[in-house]
Structure 1
């Protein structure tokens, strides 16, 4: 089969090259339409019960993740209750309501409160607190008294020190795609540019819709800026190393074709890039360039053997390398295909996209290089006297003579890394994309410190009886739960249906759990509750009561806002809240509590995704090593290949501990790449070693000769990948820089595994041929 393939590619080279380039042009046009989607909740999208519970909860109550916040900060002597700013808020609120897909607007200037009428029978209506605009200083003083009497306002629409105010725009929850949200946010930004606040104030945007779109926008700009630079750096590095057009342009052409095919296929099936699969281009470039270097290095070696006949050299190269490249890319594809067993749709999508990309890479590398190599002089190879060839050959001889020392040293290094890695905490943050001085993160910190925060943990209380949630005993337990929650580390805010009802009896809009105590007697509390129900039946929509209680009275809501303190601490907080809820509402109490919310789901999702990735890596490792054993028809070979392939994972894990990095989704993705790199290098080394064993029949000599050939290509590949990744260190995104750093460490780990451990294991454990 491989002989026929080699003959086809060399004899029909112009036709094959034209076909590949034509398909690439079509794919490239399709690839330009790729979309990026960022949503932490997407990590659990699928059949998972937690995700479905959250969606049901949002449909029943409110979509907190659809609230766009316009933050106004006082920079002068006046506070945010100044009548000038109130007039500006009223003006902006009116314009916001005209923005398409903005369903509702809430501001301090346009707040409405319930007022009882003097007519008989008595009634109640909701009226604006500031009846007419423009507002004056009297309105400012009246509003100041209202804020002082209603602590809840000091934390939602205004800060307690009156230096920050928030305008809330509730976007249509049906708008979930980043492209659609971006249109709305662009309209709001243009509105703010055309209607700036008075002197002494500045505005900024926040809220989960803005953070999602801002992250994707900056990520796209980052890739558009850095990937071309990385390609140029690859080109220059290849040109310096190989000193031939074939060694510099052909690898980038072959890898570029495979990348275009993959992205075009992703677009064709309606898929997108997300916070996991955005590393796919880098992954394909790393694996693709690695295989291209091995192919071109073999071509340079075959040309002298073919006495300068480029066609024959290209044919022999394809015949030799199509086998090893097929195995390397197949095993890597199998490893990523194992992600198909993950719970998360995001991981499953990444798995098939990466596996498909490996298949396309094989076609474009073997097909592209196989058909085009004969038209170019091969890259120059270093001889034994040249620096790189000399170093690799010398390293092979040292390991050849001292395999036990090499194995002992490598084993101690791996053991130390594993010991360090066991202490790496599994922790991640919802907003870990930016540096501390980034404006988006600074605004988020401002919202956390001055207002009620962004990230919600929700509690759904389901009652067996419609009147159960209004029972005084349940009412008190709900308030007590809020009070206890506010004392927990990281909790910023708490509100429930009980707060809304109590606010009516006190005559102020929605006090919090920290306000006046509830009446002591059940009779007084029941009277206040009935009064609250009577009012909300008439003006409940104005007070936001439908967002906290269903119409049939069977489901109530408790909203808790938390800081982005990491999934490790949030998990402890969730466990504490669950214990308190179970104590307050045990089975048989008539009330069933359920925790949900974006912060809750993110905590559950991140831990599940990380465990999914680890189990998938374990499964992939077993399948890969079993495949190697089958290909080489030797269980011993599979076991020998296992140790060096796991080395970069162990070393990277130990490095993470030394650097103080947590185990999050972005960091775990590095392990998938490390496995792919190590497997590729190991297979190329083993294939070359087997060929040298057939020629020499001596393990020691075969190892040295493999070092002189494939060992050099592995070193070149590592230099190329680290050079390309160095560009990513200039990214504006923390995960991208960390990805580049950890992947570079992985490359060093792969070198130790393949060029130290693997040859030492071969010398010690390879089955030697019988001596005569």
Structure 2
């Protein structure tokens, strides 16, 4: 085996660090300054997370749709449900607001009650023209009442487009320039122009305006992500520093630890900028994650330093032993944690790959920073006073360790019974877990824009666009009578689905043409017969200049038609039910030999991506387990020890999965991350415990019980400290307004708490119960590397100290 991880190597590293303190400080300052220059390259995401690979069939269908009709998520809607809207003053204010918004270059065109047009027939020459619905510049109350009545009773063309079929709600539609929908210009328009103007309107008129649409939702959601980054970092620093101070009762130790993790956060931001990654709902979690994961490193190093000071009072010797004796163990635990995150790189999702790369790199980086900064800073300080070492002998910690030992010694049957009962209960809960592909579920439910989504779901039956693309396989095939009738038949099927809104398509305009031909009589709002088409076609030539609506739903060749419906915020299961119901009927309406039909849209792509991601993350978690098992096999060189070590780490994952089933927390991108993250962190305790256990076995001449109890007393305190920090550190994420982040924080915290108890109670119980089969020299061979220093290593340190006893740390 390679000797680079031997204790002698770490002893040499210790001397190298302590003899080159100035160089190390300058190096850290230089790297930090470099990463600070990379912050300017950080970009905030202006699009939804695409969870599917670029070459996935669903993505290809969506991109094919965009090639024909352009960006489909460019609609912002504003709705008012107020009986006073058609009063003169309020109506004029609403019209002025919409007219002002339409003048912005970011808005291609707008449809509102003020600029509404209706189709009118003219005879000389024969033509249809779009004429203003409201002819007067400033209509009076009587005229407005007449227009209101006409809109709701005689203009079915605008149903669910301008007015709600459920109530008297009026809606304005802003179609943004498709070029700016996925850019910073969209954010600038929404945040700096649209929102202030709407707020002023609400203040001036006293009417409530509901705003929604994918560009609006995405903008405010992205802004919430940005706002929460600072909140998370401040909360993580505050919580971990308080806990750290409570344990150590040392302002100096707390400040040094906070300095270390703050530099780690700066490096994390710098890494994101250097790699030109976007700030998403996942990458925004990395800086506080670095704080939460970095603090346990500081606890191990500072705790060991203070133990050494208490033992012999020699600062130089203590600092050298901190690096030499704790460095290897801390490295291995950070590697296993980084491995849990690194498995995300193996998924096909760009979002998760970026998260895995940045997180795993910076977990190793925070280890290096801890190993360098803490010894170097302490080397310039005075030796800790006795009051700073009191926590090492704190009685309540001793009481906790005694309780653990009592449980393992006298109540192993109770430990096993509890574990089996929890396992059985969890398996039942797991069967109740559902997969959620809701695009809005993780968004802040207390935010006004989320409440507005519910308003539009109630009034207009949905806000999430679902697109159906119909290929007639021949130019001008869409406008043939047979194709229009098939499109209408499909629209009638969509209307029957309570989760979908009344569709928009070319049939609306065709029906409206017939209504206009019959002088606006609403009973003729229907598809014309073949004979009627012959009469109507001459009138349509006058509409050639008004082709916005035509181009929106039919491509330039006339071969492809688009049906747009809006769906409520439904999950994957409900969407699959709708698809299962619709597809057989679609194929019956549109024979596959004559038509090709695809279903797409942002919401559908996200839902399909969720299902795909869940499958990939199950594979990712399996790989994490295998990878860490192989790592432990290499460290301990024992297959039986691998099995024993995995049991107490897999049980907490199953308990958490069971909790998700009972609490109704669905499997989604945010919650599926819990398992890989928690497993990579919780296995650290197992490594510490088993390494100490093996060392005690050799020291105690292979006496099992004595070795287990000694390992439990030795590692129990540090495992408790780090688990408490991790528990409260991850709990910080529960202050988020994003449901997924709340679930992630709560579930990881719970899993790590279960993992601590499992490693402190179940693991030593298993070692004692299976002592005959595992505690022998054949099973526990000499490890591939020494994770914890042995007595022989202590002698090596003593010899090294003697050789360098005249070498003092320079001021």
Same fold (TM over 0.5): yes
Aligned: 1:207 with 2:235: no
State how 1:687-766 maps to structure 2 within 5 Å: 687-697=691-701, 698-765=703-770
Aligned: 1:592 with 2:592: no
Give yes or no for contact 2:228–2:736 (8 Å, CA) kept in 1: yes
Aligned to 1:335: 340
Match of 1:125 among 125, 129, 132: 129
Match of 1:367 among 372, 383, 396: 372
Cα deviation per residue 1:510-555 (whole Å; 9 max; x = unaligned)? x9x9995545xx63365478568656544322xx111111121110
Residue range with higher mean Cα deviation, 56-65 or 380-389: 380-389
CA positional deviation for 1:425: 1.0
Give yes or no for contact 1:229–1:727 (8 Å, CA) kept in 2: yes
CA positional deviation for 1:403: 4.4
CA positional deviation for 1:96: 1.5
The separation in 2 between residues aligned to 1:31 and 1:684, in whole angstroms, is 37
The separation in 2 between residues aligned to 1:197 and 1:129, in whole angstroms, is 28
Cα deviation per residue 1:222-260 (whole Å; 9 max; x = unaligned)? 332343133123212211111124542233222222222
Match of 1:188 among 186, 194, 207: 194
Match of 1:451 among 450, 457, 460: 460
Aligned to 1:40: 48
Change (3 A) 1:591 1:430: same
Aligned to 1:671: 675
The separation in 2 between residues aligned to 1:514 and 1:722, in whole angstroms, is 66
Aligned to 2:803: none
The separation in 1 between residues aligned to 2:383 and 2:725, in whole angstroms, is 21
Residue range with higher mean Cα deviation, 659-668 or 108-117: 108-117
Q: Name the SS of the counterpart of 1:457 in structure 2.
A: strand
State how 1:241-260 maps to structure 2 within 5 Å: 241-245=247-251, 247-260=253-266
CA positional deviation for 1:280: 1.9
CA positional deviation for 1:174: 2.5
Match of 2:642 among 635, 638, 663: 638
Give yes or no for contact 2:78–2:172 (8 Å, CA) kept in 1: yes
The separation in 1 between residues aligned to 2:523 and 2:608, in whole angstroms, is 29
Aligned to 2:73: 65
Match of 2:510 among 483, 489, 501: 501
Q: Name the SS of the counterpart of 1:469 in structure 2.
A: coil
Cα deviation per residue 1:733-752 (whole Å; 9 max; x = unaligned)? 43333333222211221113
The separation in 2 between residues aligned to 1:734 and 1:696, in whole angstroms, is 51
The separation in 2 between residues aligned to 1:297 and 1:230, in whole angstroms, is 21
Aligned to 2:436: 427
Q: Name the SS of the counterpart of 1:741 in structure 2.
A: helix
Q: Name the SS of the counterpart of 2:268 in structure 1.
A: helix
The separation in 1 between residues aligned to 2:73 and 2:693, in whole angstroms, is 57
Give yes or no for contact 1:471–1:526 (8 Å, CA) kept in 2: no
Alignment: residue pair count: 759
Cα deviation per residue 1:441-481 (whole Å; 9 max; x = unaligned)? 22111111113531111110012222433343332222111
Aligned: 1:680 with 2:689: no
The separation in 2 between residues aligned to 1:757 and 1:246, in whole angstroms, is 37
**TM-score normalised to the size of structure 1?**
0.91
CA positional deviation for 1:37: 2.1
Change (3 A) 1:703 1:733: same
Aligned to 2:6: none
Aligned to 2:804: none
CA positional deviation for 1:301: 2.9
Change (3 A) 1:361 1:514: farther
Aligned to 2:290: 284
Residue range with higher mean Cα deviation, 713-722 or 133-142: 133-142
The separation in 1 between residues aligned to 2:757 and 2:679, in whole angstroms, is 13
Q: Name the SS of the counterpart of 2:55 in structure 1.
A: coil
Q: Name the SS of the counterpart of 1:316 in structure 2.
A: helix
Give yes or no for contact 1:505–1:532 (8 Å, CA) kept in 2: no
Cα deviation per residue 1:462-517 (whole Å; 9 max; x = unaligned)? 122224333433322221111111111311221222222222111299x9x99955
CA positional deviation for 1:161: 5.9
Give yes or no for contact 1:104–1:171 (8 Å, CA) kept in 2: yes
**TM-score normalised to the size of structure 2?**
0.87
Unaligned runs of 5+ in 2: 1-8, 779-811
Residue range with higher mean Cα deviation, 152-161 or 701-710: 152-161
CA positional deviation for 1:112: 2.0
Give yes or no for contact 2:87–2:144 (8 Å, CA) kept in 1: no
Q: Name the SS of the counterpart of 2:504 in structure 1.
A: strand
Aligned to 1:300: 306
Aligned to 1:524: 531
The separation in 1 between residues aligned to 2:517 and 2:30, in whole angstroms, is 70
State how 1:142-153 maps to structure 2 within 5 Å: 142-153=147-158
Q: Name the SS of the counterpart of 2:546 in structure 1.
A: helix
Give yes or no for contact 1:67–1:208 (8 Å, CA) kept in 2: yes
Aligned to 2:28: 20
The separation in 2 between residues aligned to 1:483 and 1:290, in whole angstroms, is 61
Aligned to 2:806: none
CA positional deviation for 1:384: 6.6
Q: Name the SS of the counterpart of 1:468 in structure 2.
A: coil
Unaligned runs of 5+ in 1: none
Give yes or no for contact 2:268–2:286 (8 Å, CA) kept in 1: no
Aligned to 1:656: 660
Match of 1:413 among 419, 422, 428: 422
CA positional deviation for 1:556: 0.5
Match of 2:633 among 629, 634, 653: 629
- The CA RMSD measured in Å over matched residues stands at 2.9
Change (3 A) 1:174 1:639: farther
The separation in 2 between residues aligned to 1:405 and 1:21, in whole angstroms, is 53
Give yes or no for contact 1:336–1:351 (8 Å, CA) kept in 2: yes
CA positional deviation for 1:329: 1.8
Give yes or no for contact 2:401–2:716 (8 Å, CA) kept in 1: yes
The separation in 1 between residues aligned to 2:204 and 2:709, in whole angstroms, is 76
The separation in 1 between residues aligned to 2:435 and 2:742, in whole angstroms, is 19
The separation in 2 between residues aligned to 1:607 and 1:373, in whole angstroms, is 50
Give yes or no for contact 1:124–1:538 (8 Å, CA) kept in 2: no
Q: Name the SS of the counterpart of 2:503 in structure 1.
A: strand
Cα deviation per residue 1:715-745 (whole Å; 9 max; x = unaligned)? 1112223333444444434333333322221
Q: Name the SS of the counterpart of 1:492 in structure 2.
A: coil
The separation in 1 between residues aligned to 2:67 and 2:201, in whole angstroms, is 34
